[in-house]
Structure 1
Amino acid sequence: MDQKLVDFFKSLDRSFFIDNEFKEHAYLDRPLPIGYEQTISQPSLVLKMTDRLALDKTCRVLEIGTGSGYQTVILAEFSGEVYTVERIRELAESARKKLEQLGYTNICYLIDDGSAGWEEHAPYDRIIVTAAAEIIPETLVNQLGAGGIMIVPVGPRRMQQLKLIARDLKGELHIDTIGEVAFVEMKGKYGWTD
């Protein structure tokens, strides 16, 4: 695992991204509710997913599900540009305030249906999806550039497989399973509808 990533991760105050009665549990290695039926992900999983993205400062990253901004700040620290999409206005605005307070200027924000991605700025070098898709979302795969990596939880509600999708330089896709996870459902046109 990348030591700079681990060091930054250890220095990051997770409680800064939690505004409710669960703030006191910020240092537990588990997901916590952040309101609106959403969660802040388990820290060890955030670290694992970020490490598997193999970020560098040349990367343009699409994040689906800004949530609290916890994952976003890590992406912003280790990549060139982050484009983050959140469908819940209150979460998006709260995360943006926090990230601006921390001084990050390499993040672009969109309040919209994340299942559709952010085609205007595609292709992306990396895509990370922090909500579960029923199937691999073709709309997002189509926004992944050559040499790109996408991480997305895929499968039924309650338990999914975390998929790593790599597009080689010829444009061919290679899909690996990283492990089992449990994420909230991705809502929207290309996500869960009910």
Structure 2
Amino acid sequence: MSSSSCASLEIVRVPCLSDNYGWIIHDPATKNTAVVDTPEAKPYQDELAKRGWKLTHILNTHHHWDHTGANEELKTDGVTVVGPIDEKPKIPGIDSAVGAGDVVAFGSTQATVMDVGGHTKGHIAYYFPDSKSVFVGDSLFALGCGRMFEGTPDQFWTSLKGLRELPDDTTVYCFGVLMGAVMNE
């Protein structure tokens, strides 16, 4: 497992399925810990146990099974599932539905929700400006963008332009592979 520190957050890459990475975000100040998307529970459970962290949040970027499939298995007492408002009926265990411009409180920091629709109509990203990091699900990959399943080309292009407008020192964490400053770890 690889980890990096971004301002107040510790971010850990977790291999999932046979060819993807998921992410654990930990705030050492408050001990809040989130996973971004949940294709399977065991890799996250193993990494959380190894580090002695207790899961408090699940941040879903969109409704596809390989991003929400382990929500209910990972959701225990005290775990809040956050996901896109436009996909709420399709997200297992969702507690808080959010949309573009909403702010998600997480420990001693917060994430701004970005609309990155195109892969799915309601796809969102979580941008942590204080930590200069964004979690984009399947809207971006190391060598391109996600496949357009539900959105339109114009919607996807608008989403990509919005991500492009983030500060240059933002590290992009996608589901498939890592992009940005910590790629060379």
TM-score bracket relative to the smaller structure? 0.3 to 0.5
TM-score between the two structures when normalised by the length of structure 2 = 0.34
TM-score between the two structures when normalised by the length of structure 1 = 0.33
Name whichever structure is richer in strand by fraction: 2
